[in-house]
Amino acid sequence: MRIPEELRYTESHEWVQTQPDGSVLVGITDFAQDALGDLVFIDLPAVGKAFAAGDVIAVVESVKAASDIYAPVAGTVTAVNDAVKDAPEKVNRDAYGAWLFRMQPQEPAKLQGLLDAKAYQTTVDSEK
Protein backbone atom coordinates (compact mmCIF):
# COMPACT_ATOMS: atom_id res chain seq x y z
CA MET A 1 0.00 0.00 0.00
CA ARG A 2 1.36 3.36 -1.06
CA ILE A 3 1.20 6.54 1.06
CA PRO A 4 2.84 9.33 -0.96
CA GLU A 5 4.91 11.69 1.20
CA GLU A 6 3.85 14.86 -0.67
CA LEU A 7 0.15 14.53 0.17
CA ARG A 8 -1.89 15.33 3.28
CA TYR A 9 -4.48 12.91 4.68
CA THR A 10 -7.57 12.74 6.84
CA GLU A 11 -8.38 10.11 9.44
CA SER A 12 -11.38 9.19 7.25
CA HIS A 13 -8.98 8.19 4.42
CA GLU A 14 -9.16 11.12 2.01
CA TRP A 15 -5.96 12.43 0.44
CA VAL A 16 -5.37 16.11 -0.35
CA GLN A 17 -2.92 17.58 -2.84
CA THR A 18 -2.34 21.34 -2.90
CA GLN A 19 -2.18 22.82 -6.40
CA PRO A 20 -0.09 25.84 -7.52
CA ASP A 21 -3.22 28.03 -7.63
CA GLY A 22 -4.04 27.27 -3.97
CA SER A 23 -6.87 24.86 -4.76
CA VAL A 24 -6.71 21.23 -3.61
CA LEU A 25 -7.43 17.95 -5.32
CA VAL A 26 -9.16 15.38 -3.11
CA GLY A 27 -9.46 11.63 -3.51
CA ILE A 28 -9.58 8.47 -1.44
CA THR A 29 -6.46 6.67 -0.33
CA ASP A 30 -5.12 3.37 -1.53
CA PHE A 31 -6.05 1.90 1.87
CA ALA A 32 -9.67 3.08 1.43
CA GLN A 33 -10.10 1.76 -2.10
CA ASP A 34 -8.59 -1.57 -1.08
CA ALA A 35 -10.93 -1.85 1.92
CA LEU A 36 -13.97 -0.99 -0.21
CA GLY A 37 -13.17 -3.38 -3.05
CA ASP A 38 -14.31 -2.86 -6.63
CA LEU A 39 -15.93 0.56 -6.95
CA VAL A 40 -19.11 0.60 -9.04
CA PHE A 41 -20.52 4.13 -8.52
CA ILE A 42 -19.27 7.55 -7.43
CA ASP A 43 -21.62 10.42 -6.53
CA LEU A 44 -19.67 13.67 -6.82
CA PRO A 45 -20.59 17.09 -5.38
CA ALA A 46 -22.02 19.96 -7.40
CA VAL A 47 -19.51 22.52 -8.67
CA GLY A 48 -19.97 25.80 -6.83
CA LYS A 49 -21.31 24.24 -3.65
CA ALA A 50 -19.65 25.19 -0.36
CA PHE A 51 -18.94 22.70 2.41
CA ALA A 52 -17.72 22.89 5.99
CA ALA A 53 -14.82 20.70 7.08
CA GLY A 54 -16.16 17.24 7.87
CA ASP A 55 -19.34 17.56 5.79
CA VAL A 56 -20.29 14.61 3.61
CA ILE A 57 -19.26 15.82 0.16
CA ALA A 58 -19.40 12.68 -2.01
CA VAL A 59 -20.27 8.98 -1.87
CA VAL A 60 -18.41 6.00 -3.30
CA GLU A 61 -20.15 2.66 -3.70
CA SER A 62 -18.47 -0.69 -4.13
CA VAL A 63 -19.68 -4.23 -4.46
CA LYS A 64 -19.28 -4.41 -0.65
CA ALA A 65 -20.73 -1.13 0.65
CA ALA A 66 -21.33 2.58 0.22
CA SER A 67 -18.96 4.99 1.94
CA ASP A 68 -19.21 8.72 2.59
CA ILE A 69 -16.39 11.03 1.53
CA TYR A 70 -15.85 14.04 3.78
CA ALA A 71 -14.64 17.56 3.04
CA PRO A 72 -11.09 17.72 4.40
CA VAL A 73 -11.37 21.49 4.99
CA ALA A 74 -14.04 24.14 4.52
CA GLY A 75 -14.27 25.38 0.96
CA THR A 76 -16.07 25.49 -2.35
CA VAL A 77 -16.02 22.78 -5.00
CA THR A 78 -14.51 24.18 -8.20
CA ALA A 79 -14.36 21.02 -10.36
CA VAL A 80 -15.24 17.33 -10.36
CA ASN A 81 -13.49 14.49 -12.14
CA ASP A 82 -16.12 13.18 -14.54
CA ALA A 83 -13.67 10.48 -15.69
CA VAL A 84 -14.01 8.66 -12.35
CA LYS A 85 -17.76 9.15 -12.30
CA ASP A 86 -17.95 7.41 -15.68
CA ALA A 87 -15.34 4.76 -14.77
CA PRO A 88 -15.10 4.28 -10.96
CA GLU A 89 -12.61 1.46 -11.43
CA LYS A 90 -9.97 4.12 -12.19
CA VAL A 91 -9.83 4.78 -8.44
CA ASN A 92 -9.12 1.09 -7.80
CA ARG A 93 -6.33 1.10 -10.39
CA ASP A 94 -4.64 4.32 -9.18
CA ALA A 95 -6.13 5.87 -6.04
CA TYR A 96 -3.65 8.76 -6.06
CA GLY A 97 -4.00 9.51 -9.77
CA ALA A 98 -7.80 9.46 -9.78
CA TRP A 99 -8.85 12.55 -7.84
CA LEU A 100 -12.58 12.99 -7.15
CA PHE A 101 -13.02 16.76 -6.86
CA ARG A 102 -11.14 20.05 -6.63
CA MET A 103 -11.97 22.63 -4.01
CA GLN A 104 -10.85 26.11 -3.06
CA PRO A 105 -10.13 26.09 0.69
CA GLN A 106 -11.77 28.85 2.73
CA GLU A 107 -8.75 28.94 5.07
CA PRO A 108 -5.69 27.41 3.34
CA ALA A 109 -3.73 27.39 6.61
CA LYS A 110 -6.10 24.67 7.90
CA LEU A 111 -4.49 22.25 5.42
CA GLN A 112 -1.46 22.14 7.72
CA GLY A 113 -3.69 20.52 10.35
CA LEU A 114 -4.22 17.45 8.17
CA LEU A 115 -2.12 14.32 8.66
CA ASP A 116 1.24 13.95 6.99
CA ALA A 117 2.22 10.58 5.51
CA LYS A 118 3.82 9.30 8.73
CA ALA A 119 0.78 10.19 10.87
CA TYR A 120 -1.55 8.66 8.30
CA GLN A 121 0.52 5.45 8.32
CA THR A 122 -0.06 5.29 12.08
CA THR A 123 -3.81 5.67 11.50
CA VAL A 124 -3.80 2.86 8.93
CA ASP A 125 -1.72 0.60 11.18
CA SER A 126 -4.22 1.06 14.01
CA GLU A 127 -7.07 -0.11 11.73
CA LYS A 128 -5.43 -3.28 10.48
Question: What confidence tens digit (pLDDT) does each residue in 5-23 have?
Answer: 999 999 999 999 999 999 9
Q: Domains of the chain, with CATH numbers? A: 8-110 (2.40.50.100)
| Residue environment code for 6-42, b if the CB has 16+ CB neighbours within 10 A, otherwise e | ebbbbeebbbbbeeeeebbbbbbbbbbbebbeebeeb
Query: What pLDDT sits at residue 16?
Result: 98
Phi-psi region of 54 (alpha: psi -120 to 50; beta: other; left: phi over 0): left
Q: What percent of the chain has pLDDT over 90?
A: 95
Query: What pLDDT sits at residue 1?
Result: 83
Query: What pLDDT sits at residue 57?
Result: 97
Q: Reply yes or no on whether the pLDDT at 97 is more than 90.
A: yes
Query: What pLDDT sits at residue 83?
Result: 96
pTM beyond cutoff 0.75? yes
Q: Reply yes or no on whether the pLDDT at 92 is more than 90.
A: yes
Query: What pLDDT sits at residue 21?
Result: 96
